[in-house]
Structure 1
Amino acid sequence: MKRLLTGIVAAALLVGCAPSGQNNNSGSGSTNSGSSGPKETVTFTLNWVPYGEHAPFYYGIEKGYYADEGIDLQIKPGSGSGTTIKAVAQGQTTFGWADTPPLLNAISSGMPVKSVGVFLQKGPASIEFLAEKNIKSIKDLKGKTVGGTPGDAMYASFPALLAANGMQPSDVTVVNMDAANKIAQLAAGQVDAIMGFFHDQGPTIENKTGKKVDHLLFADSGLNMLGLGIVASDDTLSSKKDLVGKFVRATQKSWTEAAKHPEDAAKVMVDLAENEPPQEVLVKQLKLAITLLQLKTAGAPGVNTEKQWSDTIDVMSKNAGLKEPGEPSKYWNGSFAKADGS
């Protein structure tokens, strides 16, 4: 049994019985900035079950980056960004890893959470299809079937994607699908394409079918939105500001080092995670995720700008039903993720 399983189960039991704002929500141990002292147990819920994008977190545990900040990190699988955000808001987990569009919707609906840094600064939302379909542009989707999951940001903004490329909703047949079944249905030929995260699903489909998968990014087709990052509750931001800074700093280092050593990070994930894809798939997924960090412009993982947030808010308000959009500060606290890692 892999080494994290016991800790994950224990953390799940711990946070499940703790009301929001209690010490058990983010650990009962004392905070210590050194690797040799007592650690504070911190739970971190992913956006989905583990896949290659998550390797940096496991790598950071193995290399001691979280321990160096006095953190005993317990990683929990997720079941969608929306569910993860809700768990953070309700105090069921200390931090979450979630996509920005559903985060904006959650905050707009009144959830007391904020981003403390988006790492995938180029959104991974895409239209995916087998290369044999010979789809080269959004316009090539005319007359085809596309699978999507009602309620997610890609589904909501798909009509805007079509409009941005001179098409009408009637040009494409959208087939409603459960998120967990889209890959199998595409592989079985039940639809021509699916809406999804290319860096996660593409390598998985290729591994299962032996066929090459291509994609069209929303970001390259007129709808660029920030992707996945760290979410914290307003309560944690106010009562445990020092912990937030330590967690963000350790996560920045974990991503920086994993980007330099993706094969090593994937191997560590195989040793520590549960129900992860095969190692060769993890490596492909992680390498694709690394391209979305935009490190040349950001300076360091998780460092965002007001313009990036304003642009994402604008796209969401115009095309995905975001109500009372507001300023970036409504959704994002940029004081923790620093370009110099300090």
Structure 2
Amino acid sequence: MDKLKKYILPIGLLLSFLLLTGCSSEPSSSGNKKNKQITLILDYIPNTNHSGIYVAQEKGYYADKGIDLNIIEPGDDSTSLALLGAGKGEFALSYQEDLTYATASKNPIPVKAVATVLQHNTSGFVALKSSGITSPKDFEDRVYAGWQSPSEEATLKAVMTKSGADYNKLTTVGDAGAGTGDLGKNVDIKWFFEGWDYTKAVMDGVELNYMPLNKLDDRLDFYTPILLTTDKLIDSDPELIQDFVDATKKGYLYAIEHSDESAEILHQASPDQDLAFLKQSQAFVSTHYTDTPESWGVMSQDVWDNYTDFMVEYQLIDHKIPAEQMFTNQFISKEDK
């Protein structure tokens, strides 16, 4: 999921919000709930992080709530978060770090997280098993290929420092391409999602050492992806948000119990992806949506505070943001729907 990993929002993209708002059209939140037209903006192309949404659409869970859902992709020149803030949809998928950037900016984007898709960060660093790289301590005098973003650099510094390594001895370059093709050649280390890039590598017979971020530093167990809506919609139509989240949760609970079928449903939306790969990816992701199905989507203040503290420490933002400004659990029903 190489482009999906671009989940650090460049500060410059926040400025695009100001331009977008000049031509925004706020979604209607009034009128009859039946057959309400709702737009959800994905964070990237359809993938197994999104399966619960496509399941809910296929099974009629949104229709049961009077919702006619339109799913769109953000495009390469914008972000789902900025588009949501500009009124181009009612809901969007994004990432905790992007939302923290957006909230801490001089022109905060008025959106809030209402659910997390995955309970834990399922990404980490990878290296060929033959390289002997098993921890960030081994990153010294090696080459890392990535996006060269500020938060990526901060993450590498944090995990290397914690392991007693010197970040200045790591060479970082721009990502040479998707997958593992460059590993062992001009690149030693990359950042993969376990349920996507890593799963594909294993299916291709590539032997990797995988170093999960949430085991390297507790603060890096942040939420990715998250479901967002606007502050305006929370104030004006909380019932719509409740209906949407309830239907979405029902879709994810189904995906947890019916992995293969959910992959087949996703494949209809992403036919270019290999179905065997989607099923293997879904088998992993279905077990990581949540530790406790009845609490799918629930977020912890500690997770938000920990990552905000990390961003402040590494000067990614210049002040701490109260967690309640960025997320709410008020729309997560405690019982299965």
**TM-score, shorter chain, exceeding 0.5:** yes
Which residue of 68, 71, 89 corresponds with 2:67? 71
The structure-2 alpha-carbon separation of the partners of 1:236 and 1:18, relative to structure 1 and needing over 3 Å to count, comes to farther
Task: Report matched runs for 1:1-342 at 5 Å.
Answer: 19-23=24-28, 30-32=32-34, 39-79=35-75, 83-109=79-105, 110-151=108-149, 153-177=151-175, 181-183=177-179, 186=182, 189-207=185-203, 209-222=204-217, 223-271=220-268, 273-274=269-270, 276-296=272-292, 299-319=294-314, 321-341=316-336
Distance in 2 separating the partners of 1:323 and 1:185: 38
In the alignment, structure 1 segments of 5+ residues that lack a partner are 1-15, 33-38
Question: Is this contact kept in 2: 1:18–1:92, CA < 8 A?
Answer: no
Distance in 2 separating the partners of 1:40 and 1:320: 43
Distance in 2 separating the partners of 1:196 and 1:175: 16
Distance in 1 separating the partners of 2:279 and 2:51: 9
Deviation at 1:329, TM superposition (A): 0.6
The structure-2 alpha-carbon separation of the partners of 1:22 and 1:227, relative to structure 1 and needing over 3 Å to count, comes to closer
Q: CA RMSD in A?
A: 2.9
Question: Is this contact kept in 1: 2:131–2:184, CA < 8 A?
Answer: no
**Number of residue pairs the alignment of both structures matches:** 314
When normalised by structure 2's length, the TM-score is 0.83
Deviation at 1:294, TM superposition (A): 3.6
Distance in 2 separating the partners of 1:79 and 1:164: 37
Distance in 2 separating the partners of 1:80 and 1:126: 24
Question: Is this contact kept in 2: 1:149–1:155, CA < 8 A?
Answer: no
The structure-2 alpha-carbon separation of the partners of 1:287 and 1:214, relative to structure 1 and needing over 3 Å to count, comes to farther
* Identity over aligned pairs, percent: 22
In the alignment, structure 2 segments of 5+ residues that lack a partner are 1-20
| 1:228-266, Cα deviation, whole Å (9 max, x unpaired) | 110111222222211111111111111111011110000
Distance in 2 separating the partners of 1:197 and 1:62: 26
Distance in 2 separating the partners of 1:18 and 1:69: 30
Deviation at 1:339, TM superposition (A): 2.7
Equivalence for 1:8: none
* Matched AA of 2:335: D
Question: Is this contact kept in 1: 2:183–2:189, CA < 8 A?
Answer: no
Deviates more, 1:45-54 or 1:72-81: 72-81
Distance in 2 separating the partners of 1:82 and 1:100: 17
Deviation at 1:70, TM superposition (A): 1.3
Three-state SS of the structure 1 residue aligned to 2:229 is: strand
Question: Is this contact kept in 2: 1:245–1:336, CA < 8 A?
Answer: yes
Distance in 2 separating the partners of 1:274 and 1:253: 21
Distance in 2 separating the partners of 1:196 and 1:168: 22
* Matched AA of 2:47: Y
Distance in 1 separating the partners of 2:283 and 2:47: 12
Distance in 1 separating the partners of 2:153 and 2:46: 23
Distance in 2 separating the partners of 1:61 and 1:152: 37
Q: Which runs of 4+ in 1 moved over 6 A?
A: none
Question: Is this contact kept in 2: 1:51–1:276, CA < 8 A?
Answer: no
Deviation at 1:81, TM superposition (A): 12
* Matched AA of 2:161: A
